[in-house]
């Protein structure tokens, strides 16, 4: 009987004290304690870096900043080739070659081809005349000899342009297209002046087309107009 009471007392004592000791032990641990694995992961993990974005001022500055211009120089300046007058279209010889091809097309009555060749020759001569005129104006008062040389070349190429224009007007007449010939003939008179030979021929064409009705130059006899100058050759 006494032994039984003793056993009950021991069970009661350990059953009450042991859970209290366990609870007290856990309460003594720091509240922010973490497992060692988490601590090691935090030490080895890299710190995220937030990229820095450019400001609006920097972006606008980049847009408005001019790009540097790097001059392009030939690797071998001594081997740089000038314009070849015989092969280049941008030359007096190139325009004359087109005029000759147009004459051959007119001889064979291929007026479409002649029209094309004369248009190309007229454009080339006009460009050459404008380029030489610009150079003459640029050097006027600086180098008069150079300016006079360029002015002479401008007049020569302008004369060739007007000749090509006159031939083109005759081709339009041969194709029964007087509405295309009249503007070209008027341009020739404005460029050449009516007193020059080509200007007189252009006015005679306008007279034959009926665009004008007073002959020029005026005849002192019976008032007959000069002979027709419609021949394409």
- pLDDT at position 90 is 81
Rounded Cα–Cα distance for residues 144 and 90 (Å): 25
Residue 127: exposed, middle, or buried by beta-carbon count in 10 A (0-12, 13-18, 19+)? middle
pLDDT over 70, % of the chain: 56
Dump pLDDT digits (tens) for 107-141.
Answer: 999 999 999 999 999 999 999 999 999 999 999 99
Can you tell me the distance from the alpha carbon of 190 to that of 187, in angstroms, rounded to the nearest whole number? 5
What distance in Å separates the CA atoms of residue 116 and residue 98, rounded to the nearest whole number? 9
Q: Model-level pTM greater than 0.85?
A: no
Confidence of residue 94 (pLDDT cuts 50, 70, 90): very high
Per-residue model confidence as pLDDT tens digits over 18-69 = 555 555 555 554 444 444 545 444 455 555 545 555 555 554 555 555 555 5
Q: Find all residues with CB under 8 Å of 231, minimum gap 6, and list them.
A: 170
Q: Does residue 198 surpass a pLDDT of 90?
A: yes
pLDDT of residue 226: 53
């Amino acid at each position: 009987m006494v032994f039984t009471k003793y056993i009950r007392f021991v069970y009661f004592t350990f059953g009450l004290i042991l859970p209290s000791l366990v609870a007290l032990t856990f309460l003594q641990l720091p509240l922010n304690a973490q497992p060692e694995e988490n601590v090691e992961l935090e030490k080895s993990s890299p710190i995220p870096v937030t990229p820095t974005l450019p400001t609006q001022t920097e972006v606008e500055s980049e847009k408005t900043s001019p790009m540097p211009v790097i001059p392009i120089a030939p690797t071998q300046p001594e081997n740089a080739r000038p314009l070849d007058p015989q092969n280049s279209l941008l030359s007096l010889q190139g325009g004359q070659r087109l005029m000759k091809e147009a004459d051959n097309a007119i001889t064979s009555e291929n007026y479409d081809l002649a029209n094309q060749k004369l248009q190309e020759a007229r454009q080339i001569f006009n460009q050459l005349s404008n380029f030489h005129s610009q150079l003459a104006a640029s050097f006027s008062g600086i180098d008069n000899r150079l300016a006079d040389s360029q002015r002479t070349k401008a007049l020569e190429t302008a004369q060739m342009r007007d000749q090509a224009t006159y031939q083109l007007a005759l081709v339009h007449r041969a194709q029964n297209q007087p509405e295309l010939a009249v503007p070209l003939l008027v341009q020739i008179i404005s460029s050449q002046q009516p007193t020059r030979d080509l200007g007189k021929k252009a006015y005679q064409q306008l007279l034959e087309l009926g665009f004008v009705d007073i002959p020029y130059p005026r005849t002192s006899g019976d008032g007959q107009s000069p002979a027709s100058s419609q021949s394409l050759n």
